[in-house]
Amino acid sequence: MTDDDDQLHEDAEELRKATAEGSPELAEHDRVAELEQQLEEAKSKALYAAAEIQNVRRRLEQEKQQASAYAQAGFAKDMLAIKDHLERALVAVTEELRDDKTASQFLAGIEATARELESVFARHGISRIKSVGESLDPHRHQAMMEIPTDQADPGTIVEEMQAGYMLRDRLLRPALVGVAKKP
């Protein structure tokens, strides 16, 4: 647009305002146009608000699902200590105790408890992290020491001091491991 066009539009608007004062139809038309513009703005704001509410609802639903899926993490961590104690108890049992009739019944109960605990873990998505023979993964393993050896490539886990566990796709506890290094 040129300056002449701008001036022409301004003149037309002034003329329109001047004639609108004496013409109720034109004033009514202007008022209708203004109300239509306000209605469009209100519709736009309402659509925006509805979209925002939908986004908040979706986000809350996701947070609720995650909260319920991982709510048992604290309890599961506490149960890992019990599992560790059961495993240590079973490893410490000598063959002499296993041959004793009374002790073997007691051991059978401990083994059954350990199996049931493993079953409960599986039902609730708690799984043991594979370690020995795997490459060190800092997201799942915590290297506690390096072990000089020719039996494995450097960076390979050769010893597990404490088992690590996952709760579905989240780390509950890293595995404490010994990693191979060149002798």
Q: What is the pLDDT of residues 91-136, one digit of tens each?
A: 898 898 888 888 889 899 999 999 999 999 999 999 999 999 999 9
Rounded Cα gap, residues 45 and 47, in angstroms: 5
Rounded Cα gap, residues 104 and 106, in angstroms: 5
pTM (predicted TM-score) = 0.63
Q: What is the pLDDT of residue 114?
A: 93
Structure tokens at 52: 């925002």
Cα dist from 173 to 37, 128, 138, 142, 183, whole Å = 60, 10, 12, 9, 30
| Residue 156 predicted with pLDDT over 60 | yes
Q: Tell me: domain 127-183, CATH 2.30.22.10, correct?
A: yes
Structure tokens at 17: 């305002």
The residue among 19 and 145 whose pLDDT is bigger is: 145
